[in-house]
Structure 1
């Protein structure tokens, strides 16, 4: 049974979506745009849960509905166009929207890319280059996998991460995963790598072979690039850049740029700062590293819209999550971001 508050929210979403409020909101702030931020589009939620938090995935059916909604109600443009208009001081198209993906999961190719092509829509895919094409899995995926698959009922966490914890119930595992991923984002990169290995030993997980193949290949990215998709950089190993020293941060940014350029045979114009949830994932020093690396834009995970005068190296986005399979929630949150005053 719904609580009174949930019932009220449900009723508001219904009125919002079906009584014309969404359309009215779209007409307001017409020159503000929205950059949508996705991670994973899946037909197999159970399998995806092995390496990605459930909140960060959307089903293929939900994604298809969202694409059709955006195509009908917004002006979907390549990220290049939004960015160049911002640099030139030119007004954005009315109700502009751009679609982006972070990390580089293989379902971006097998599911998202195919649905985007079917609808004739462009998107930008920010990829973590070191994990592509059989590279070592993202540390976030390893953490998710070990917490989810451990056969132990209690674990003693290393390095002052929380002492002994119970991991018997799914809710306990989800809670400890959330605690750990946020904590590790605040740890300097070298120590984070050590802690991930110590955590694997604590959870009793040493075989990560089931994570093979969860990321895209260069051949797949070349196909996507040749068919109108933009490939951007998302570092080499997904560190939290403000927690790395300047030399390492520069290497992560520039090597990811160079790997993509070498593999695709074209310059890389766009970057996305990794590790947005629960941590400060960019600062002035990191922004300047990215700008000096020659990127025309850099996207954050901060919520909000894009508009004339926006910082091209601090673009705000609209995070799209599992809960947005309800199209009413999707349309409401996109418009809330467009109307948001930063």
Structure 2
């Protein structure tokens, strides 16, 4: 597939008909590590979007697109998962600078209280005075040790981001627990725990923000029929995955997966030029589906190969 068009940006621009790419971020920190984009690369990406006339949709407008309502041709949905402190320290000021908007799926049980901490650029705040923003592995260890406040957002920061218009907030469950793994074959227990997880998340968002939407992002991207049924029962209608190989097209369009399987691709720790190329593949009405099919087949082939190799080990 890579050999078909070596430099997509050298081809005449196309109208990205129907599909709205959904970008997925977790961390924005200079600390490096997995599922992270550095502040410099994040700014390069957001600047590229703004400079090239992209509209960052709200979740409501994105839902309207899936239902068949029009949105600007150059539209994206920018999403963040979990709710790390570095989203406030580094992502929030960049989004403000460029007038862009993001959707954050927050793990409500990990968010605490306290005054808002400083963010980059606030009143000339020197970098040395900013809160620590560890990499993902360090964050996991601190959370496991019960030190959520060291690395997660506070409600005061969430309220400030909402007021500024840089972020809106939706459910990523209450504790980010994979109940299918905890409960094993006990389906009744799994469903009961998932139901409580979703109810607690919605109740917390309602109490803290005065609203709880019908948008839900699955922890680690995992879901099955039991999860989906409990999600529907809890009042959710739009379900976000970590599946990158599909197009979010309007209802009635061939290949539409609908609001229960929203595709997202992870944004790499690369400058804006990388995002430009990735969006070209994501949006192209002809090459986009073929790129996704090729990548999906390749991933399945590699997974099967690894399984076969494991089976041969003594």
CA contact (8 A) 1:131 1:215 kept: yes
* Mapping for residues 1-342 of structure 1, pairs under 5 Å: 12=6, 15-17=7-9, 20-21=10-11, 24=13, 27-45=14-32, 54-73=33-52, 74-87=54-67, 89-133=68-112, 144-145=137-138, 208=145, 212-228=149-165, 229-243=167-181, 244=183, 245-276=190-221, 281-303=222-244, 304-309=246-251, 310-322=257-269, 325-338=270-283, 339-340=288-289
Unaligned runs of 5+ in 1: 1-7, 46-53, 135-140, 150-195, 198-207
Shift of the 212–218 alpha-carbon distance from structure 1 to 2, 3 Å rule, reads closer
- Alignment CA distance shift 1:144-1:41 (3 Å): closer
Q: Distance in 1 between matches of 2:191 and 2:280?
A: 37
Contact in 2 for aligned 1:105/1:215 (Cα 8 Å): yes
The answer (yes or no) to whether the contact 2:8–2:280 under 8 Å persists in 1 is: no
Instruction: Give the secondary structure class of the aligned counterpart of 1:121.
Output: coil
Separation of aligned partners in 2, 1:132 and 1:85: 31
Displacement of 1:283 after TM fit?
A: 1.7
Given the superposition, is the C-alpha separation of residues 249 and 147 from structure 1 closer, same or farther in structure 2, using an over 3 Å criterion? closer
Q: What TM-score, normalized to structure 1?
A: 0.65
Q: Which residue of 2 aligns with 1:187?
A: none
Compared with structure 1, are the counterparts of its residues 144 and 93 closer, same or farther at alpha carbon in structure 2 (3 Å cutoff)?
Answer: same
8 Å CA contact 2:173, 2:219 repeated in 1: yes
SS at match of 1:275: helix
Q: CA deviation at 1:336?
A: 2.4
Aligned 8 A contact 1:92 1:307 in 2 = no
Over 3 Å counting, the alpha-carbon distance change for 1:250 and 1:43 in structure 2 is: same
What is the CA deviation profile of residues 262-294 of structure 1, one whole-angstrom value per residue up to 9, with x for unaligned ones?
111223332111113xxxx01222122222222
Q: Flag the 1:217–1:144 CA change in 2: closer, same or farther, 3 A.
A: same
Distance in 2 separating the partners of 1:307 and 1:147:
35
Counterpart contact for 2:110–2:148, Cα < 8 Å? no
1:110 offset after TM fit, Å?
Answer: 1.3
The 3 A distance-change label for structure 1 pair 211 and 290 is: closer
Q: CA RMSD in A?
A: 3.1
Counterparts of 2:94 and 2:135, CA distance in 1? 28
How many Å apart are 1:31 and its aligned residue? 2.0
Q: Give the deviation of 1:147 after TM superposition.
A: 9.8
SS of residue in 2 equivalent to 1:37: strand
CA offset digits 1:50-105 (Å, max 9, x no partner): xxxx2300011111111111223333221210102323x32443132011100100
